[in-house]
């Protein structure tokens, strides 16, 4: 991975997939973050949170504007690899997987879908989490159950920035496996109408953020505003970094 806007990101999908498969085969202990505008903005305001993101095995870019701006600044063809796309690809893998968080209702829907689709249910385990402050979870108990199942992938669906902090607190107690901060991917995978992706045309125009704002103006609107207010500074700093690198060469 290379740093863009002071965050490590990997835009090459094939490299992301090969890195994750290699870590699974080696039974490595690691974690993955999915970076959108909200995650990027939070990381630039919070050093602790930024350290979590930059400590990941690999970070996916889930923000089309981030990919577009990084590509233009560095004169490369960057595209997104969204959390829902990554989830859809890897949930099909023949590896043990632990689904943690979200709601009991959605986890039950996932069970039914996987069962009806012929998945090996012995490879899957599902555990909802109560709604509480990220500081208040019993991480030792959660990890004990995970370690007993010994999964290769541990999907964490709590929403950013909570899920990344949750991973940082759970990680020391995990024996092995890859923790993935996956956000609303469960909902999108199930076709939840309240969390569906923007149409392809909207995504191609890099306007999915606007689509999400219109879906949830109160929650997503504030996050989008924080990101776009920060964006000019991020772009100027990145341009400065590019110029400094050219001078050093």
Confidence check: pLDDT of 193 > 50: no
pTM higher than the cut 0.95: no
Which residue's structure tokens are 């490590």? 8
Would you state the pLDDT for residue 3? 94
Question: Which own/partner pairs from 12-15 qualify as long-range (CB within 8 Å, at least 24 positions apart)?
Answer: 13/79, 13/81
**Which residues is 92 bridged to in the sheet?**
none
Using alpha carbons, select from 137, 12, 119, 23 the residue that is nearest to residue 70: 12
Instruction: Give the domain range for residue 40.
Output: 2-248
**DSSP 8-state code for residue 198:** P
Tally of domains within the chain: 1
Q: Mean of the pLDDT values across residues 164-168?
A: 97
Work out the average pLDDT over 142-165: 96
Contact indicator for 32, 56 with CB cutoff of 8 Å: yes
Query: What's the pLDDT tens digit per position in 24-74?
Result: 999 999 999 999 999 999 999 999 999 999 999 999 999 888 999 999 999
The residues facing 60 across adjacent strands are 34
pLDDT tens-digit readout, 2-18: 999 999 999 999 999 99
Q: Which residue has the tokens 């607190």?
A: 169
Over 50: is that where the pLDDT of 183 sits? yes
pLDDT at 246: 64
């Amino acid at each position: 991975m290379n740093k863009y806007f002071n965050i490590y990101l990997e835009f090459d999908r094939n490299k992301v997939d090969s890195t994750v498969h290699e870590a699974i085969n080696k039974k490595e202990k690691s974690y993955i973050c999915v970076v959108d505008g909200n995650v990027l903005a939070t990381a630039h305001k919070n050093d602790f949170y930024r350290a979590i993101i930059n400590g990941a095995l690999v970070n996916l870019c889930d923000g089309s504007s981030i990919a577009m701006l990084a590509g233009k600044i560095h004169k490369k063809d960057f595209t997104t690899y969204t959390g829902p796309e990554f989830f859809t690809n890897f949930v099909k893998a023949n590896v043990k997987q632990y689904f943690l968080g979200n709601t009991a209702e959605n986890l039950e829907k996932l069970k039914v879908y996987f069962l009806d689709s012929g998945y090996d249910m012995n490879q899957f385990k599902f555990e909802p989490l109560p709604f509480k402050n990220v500081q208040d979870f019993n991480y030792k108990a959660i990890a004990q159950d995970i370690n007993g199942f010994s999964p290769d992938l541990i999907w964490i669906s709590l929403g950013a920035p909570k899920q990344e902090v949750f991973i940082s607190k759970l990680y020391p107690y995990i024996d092995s496996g890859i923790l993935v901060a996956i956000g609303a991917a469960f909902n999108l995978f199930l076709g939840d109408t309240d969390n569906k992706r923007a149409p392809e045309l909207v995504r191609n125009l890099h306007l999915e953020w606007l689509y999400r704002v219109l879906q949830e103006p109160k929650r997503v609107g504030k996050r989008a505003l924080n990101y776009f207010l920060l964006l000019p500074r991020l772009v100027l700093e990145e341009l400065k970094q590019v110029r400094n690198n050219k001078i050093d060469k």
